[in-house]
């Protein structure tokens, strides 16, 4: 198996590059779901571009992402 390792800085920069910065408490549930879908889609595209089987990481997933 081939793994792609992602650290916390990479993950945080990815989220910021997608335009999600600052406090997300003002976002609606629909906006949060959209953000989660966009992050997941981007991570999948990155994983596929490296032909990795799985992503493993040292990043911390924000609690609001765990809700979905």
Does 21 score more than 80 pLDDT?
no
By percentage, how much of the chain surpasses pLDDT 90? 24
29-61 residue pLDDT tens: 898 889 889 989 999 999 999 999 998 887 666
What residue has token string 């992402």? 65
Integer angstrom CA distances of residue 55 from 3, 4, 27, 33: 6, 5, 27, 21
């Amino acid at each position: 198996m081939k793994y792609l390792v992602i650290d916390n800085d990479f993950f945080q920069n990815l989220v910021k590059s997608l335009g999600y910065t600052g406090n997300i408490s003002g976002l609606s549930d629909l906006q949060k779901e959209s953000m989660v879908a966009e992050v997941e889609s981007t991570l999948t595209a990155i994983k596929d571009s490296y032909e990795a089987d799985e992503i493993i990481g040292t990043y911390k997933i924000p609690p609001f992402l765990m809700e979905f």
